[in-house]
Amino acid sequence: MRFAIVLVPLACACASAPVREDSQLAELRGQLAAQSEQIAAQQRRIDELEVKVAAVASRAEPKTVVIQAPAQPAAAAAATKPAVPAKDPRPHLKTVKLSPRMPRHDFNPVERAPRIPSTIALRDPDEQALASLDDVPVDAFIRAEVEADHSFASAVRELNDGQLASAEADLLAFVQKYPRHNAADNALYLAGLIRQNRGDCESAVPLFDRVPREYPAGDSVAPALLEKGRCLRMQQHAEEARRTLSRLLAEHPQAVEVTTARQILQSLEESQSGRP
């Protein structure tokens, strides 16, 4: 707070008062100057006090203090952390109340279908009906194939039973009747073997010749060439036998008859060179 003091010179003027002396006036002026200096010093003191009061007031204002708790170790924190319960893997079951069964109106027609009798009365076959089965028309090509198969099977059965004469006749008849059958080359080869076994190589060689000539893709070509070469050797036709066996080696190198053909060729070479 500031105090403004205005000093008004005291003058005692009175028309009737006596004139003061100069010494008194000088003394009053000295006192006035001293009081003015004293008032100025007090004013400066007041200003300093105001500054100090303001500083003390600013330091005395309350401040928010944050107190931090000391950090806990990780293990202690994990121990103090509340355990979270594990999730139950089982689904939550819910009770459902079923409504009473209502009568059906959408019937399946199959449920009302009549039952088929599962029992059948057995009886002996009718002879007349069985006889009529033979009259059923069958394709001519299929019938011929079946008859050819039966004919060839019958001839082979006779050959296995040792009936060589009848087997030879049936095999040759089979080739003549069914020349396009896939077993025709086998029939010629087997008929040639029968003649060779009988010692009739002269009539067996023509049958062996027919196999590669008439059925070059047949599976009896290699065996027929081997047996022809064997027959020619027995007939002392060494050069022709060598050509036949060499043809077998050249045209059918993977055939099982190749080993026997090489042995016969080696024997022919040895006999020609005079070695035992």
pLDDT tens digits, one per residue of 159-189 = 999 999 999 999 999 999 999 999 999 999 9
Q: What is the pLDDT of residue 11?
A: 42
- Residue 155: which of 188, 133, 124, 200 has the closest Cα? 188
Cβ atoms of residues 203 and 173 within 8 Å: no
Using CA atoms, how far apart are residues 174 and 186, in angstroms rounded to an integer? 11
Using CA atoms, how far apart are residues 243 and 213, in angstroms rounded to an integer? 16
Count how many residues are written for the chain.
276
Cβ atoms of residues 260 and 226 within 8 Å: yes
Q: For residue range 22-53, list pLDDT tens digits in order.
A: 777 888 888 888 888 888 888 888 888 888 87
Q: Would you give the DSSP letter of residue 87?
A: P
Q: What is the pLDDT of residue 264?
A: 94
Q: What is the pLDDT of residue 4?
A: 41
Q: Give me the numbers of helices (H) and strands (E) for the chain, helices first please.
A: 10, 0
Span of 47-51, 99-103, 130-134, 209-213 with lowest mean pLDDT: 99-103
> Per CATH, is 141-273 categorized as 1.20.1250.20?
no
More confident residue, 14 or 242: 242
Using CA atoms, how far apart are residues 20 and 22, in angstroms rounded to an integer? 7
pLDDT band at 5 (very low <50, low <70, confident <90, very high): very low
Using CA atoms, how far apart are residues 176 and 179, in angstroms rounded to an integer? 6
Predicted TM-score of the model (pTM):
0.51
